Structure 1
Amino acid sequence: MHFNHYGGEAARLAADLANLTESPCPSDLEPLLAAHGIARRALTAGQSNQIWEWSRRLAACFGPQDVDRRCQAVNALLADSSTRPHISLHDGRPHLHYSTPDADAAAHIRAVTAAGLAYVVCFAAADRLGRCARRGCGLAFVDTSRNGRRTYCSVRCANNDAVARHRGRRGGVAPPPTQDA
């Protein structure tokens, strides 16, 4: 499924932030923000802490849950991140920005990620905000597959789980190692 830049990419940023396992320093966040097209990514230590706290709230939006609960979680994020959206012409074409030009970087990231999650819930499907089904993983992801049936965060997790299921059916015996002749 194709998502627009502000919806899909912002939701993928929300998933990556939800997957943080410890409070990052600003220099750790900059490459992640750059990879998701965030222009204002220079953060202070205080803003980095704000993003860490925000990431814990984003995490609650992913995984199996009923649509009412997910909408409540996203609405709470939207309420706490609201800045004034506006139409920008900075690249010659009108497009929507979710925060004002004078918003600090942390406020911008909060607004963009909340709007991205709302976009996915409203224009794709609420259950596209998933958690990896492989035991021990549980990473958040945005399902961009055509049919909306993705259950793993990556091909690697899907393959590892398939191998584990196969070995489990064989009685847990690992295949013998191959010998080079």
Structure 2
Amino acid sequence: MQFNHYGGQSARLAAALVNAPWPLTPDQLEPILAEHEIIRRRLTTEQIAGLHAWSRRLARCFGDQDIDERCAAINGLLADASSSPRITTHDGQAPHLHYSAPGSDAAAHIRATTAAGLASVVCFAAPHRLGRCARCGRAYVDTSRNGRRSYCTVRCANNDAVARHRSARAAV
């Protein structure tokens, strides 16, 4: 499934922050942000601590849960990100949305972007696409065509299949 930038990349950033081995140093956080196309990646220790707390709140949006619980958690994130979407045409690009106010710090941008990304997936794809791996429990965004993914990676799916196979053979 194809998501727009905020629906896909920003929701995947939310999952990456949830799965990160906190606490992180600036040098550990930077590659995660770069991988998810965040331009301003240098954060202070205080901002990183705030993102750690934010990641715990993001974690509540992944996995099996009632739709009302998931929406309430995301609405809380959107409210606390307290930013208004704006159309921008910076750098000669086609008009597109930014979810953080001009001049906001990097951490505020990350909070607004991840909250908007989760909201986009829930509203324009399906709430169950914000999943938890059936094998290891890591958060993921299901971008599969049919939306029935149960594992964070092919490796986890294969490891689970091998474990089931070995268990079935041992029972014989």
Superposition CA RMSD, Å: 1.2
Greater CA radius of gyration, 1 or 2?
A: 1
Aligned length: 171
Q: Which residue of the partner structure matches residue 53 of structure 2? A: 53
User: Which residue pairs with 1:177 in the alignment?
Assistant: none
Aligned to 2:148: 149
Which ranges of 4 or more aligned residues in structure 1 deviate by more than 2 Å? none
The CA distance in 2 between the partners of 1:60 and 1:43, in whole Å, is 24
What corresponds to 2:170 in structure 1? 171
Q: Supply the distance in 1 between the matched residues of 2:163 and 2:14 (Cα, whole angstroms).
A: 29
Which one-letter code corresponds to 1:122 in the other structure? C
Partner of 1:70: 70
- Quote the residue 1:139 is aligned against: 138
* Mapped partners of 1:159, 1:172: distance in 2: 20
Partner of 1:16: 16
User: Normalising by the residue count of structure 2, what TM-score does the alignment of the two structures yield?
Assistant: 0.96
What is the rounded CA distance, in whole Å, between the counterparts of 1:36 and 1:143 in structure 2? 16
**Distance in 1 between residues matched to 2:109 and 2:52, nearest whole Å:** 14
Q: Match for residue 176 of structure 1?
A: none
Question: What secondary structure, in the 3-state scheme, does the structure 2 residue paired with 1:149 have?
Answer: coil
Whether 1:162 and 2:161 are equivalent positions in the alignment is yes
Percent of aligned positions that are identical: 67
1:38 equivalent in structure 2: 38
Report deviation, 1:172: 6.6
- TM-score normalised according to structure 1 size: 0.92
CA-CA distance at 1:41 after TM superposition: 1.1
The code of the aligned residue for 2:148 comes to R
The worse-fitting range, judged by mean Cα deviation, of 85-94 and 5-14 is: 85-94
Tell me, in whole angstroms, the C-alpha distance in 1 between the residues paired with 2:5 and 2:83. 19
Deviation at 1:10, TM superposition (A): 0.1
Within 1, Cα distance between the matches of 2:63 and 2:21? 17
Shift of 1:14: 0.2
Whose helix proportion is higher, 1 or 2? Answer: 2
1:108 aligned onto 2:109:
yes
Cα deviations across residues 119-175 of structure 1 (Å, max 9, x unaligned)? Answer: 0000000000000001xx1000000000000000000000000000000000179xx
For residue 93 of structure 1, report the CA deviation from its aligned partner: 1.1
Greater mean alpha carbon deviation, residues 16-25 or residues 106-115: 16-25
What displacement does 1:6 show?
A: 1.6
Residue 119 of structure 2 corresponds to: 118
Take 2:35 and 2:20, find their aligned partners in 1: how far apart are those partners?
15
| Aligned-residue offset at 1:26 | 1.4
